[in-house]
Amino acid sequence: MSAFHDLNLRALDGQELPLAPYKGQVVLVVNVASKCGLTPQYAGLEKLYQQYKGNGFTVLGVPCNQFAGQEPGSEDEIRSFCSLNYGVTFPLGSKLEVNGPGRHPLYRLLAGEGAEFPGDITWNFEKFLVGEDGRVLARFSPRTTPDDPALIQAIEKALGL
């Protein structure tokens, strides 16, 4: 199992969210926020999830409040916001830090020293495509929308479609 699949997060509802069950799936990890100009990407992420989940794909949303305080809500508020405004059904982790000394191990693996695509996360909605084996296949800027042809092509290639 890869280091990615060894990680455990906490879901917004407080339950454990181990990544081991995603072994053999393609995962798009996205740091999300409710009060960002890019927040409407939630709709496109949900559409991607619905379109490809039957092929072994999931979106993993990870709320983060490190960019201009754009995710100030409690975990209940975040869950409610995502569900009511965007119909989000893909997994959402609890808030975590993606940069700095408190960087969560998930983001140390995705973007830390020695990562395939190292460097600080630049803003909300930065995307990492993780392959079935847990290797990071691609990194996409926050401005790359969920319907961007390059992102869709990378997902379909990872899924063997």
At 20, list the tokens: 């081991």
Q: Annotated catalytic, 36? A: yes
Among candidate residues 29, 36, 110, 158, the one labeled active-site is 36
Asked if residue 84 lies in contact with residue 76, where contact means CB atoms within 8 angstroms, the answer is no
Q: Which domains does the chain have, with CATH numbers?
A: 6-157 (3.40.30.10)
If residue 10 lies in a helix (H) or strand (E), which one and from where to where? strand 8-10
**Complete edge-to-edge strand list for the sheet that includes strand 26-32:** 57-63, 26-32, 127-130, 136-140
State phi, psi for 117 to the nearest 5 degrees: -130, 75
Side-chain half-sphere CA neighbours of 132 within 13 A:
9
Tell me, what's the pLDDT at 43?
A: 97
Which residues have C-beta within 8 Å of that of residue 141, sequence separation ≥ 6?
122, 126, 127
Taking the C-alpha atoms of residue 14 and residue 114, their distance in angstroms, rounded to an integer, is 31
Asked if residue 29 lies in contact with residue 60, where contact means CB atoms within 8 angstroms, the answer is yes
For the stretch 115-154, pLDDT in tens is: 999 999 999 999 999 999 999 999 999 999 999 999 999 9
Asked if residue 16 lies in contact with residue 8, where contact means CB atoms within 8 angstroms, the answer is yes
Strands 57-63 and 26-32: parallel
Taking the C-alpha atoms of residue 87 and residue 71, their distance in angstroms, rounded to an integer, is 18
pTM recorded for the entire structure: 0.97
Average pLDDT for 52-57: 98
The SS3 call for residue 47 is helix
For the stretch 67-113, pLDDT in tens is: 999 999 999 999 999 999 999 999 999 999 999 999 999 999 999 99
Rounded to the nearest integer, the mean pLDDT of the chain is: 96
For the stretch 5-40, pLDDT in tens is: 999 999 998 999 999 999 999 999 999 999 999 999
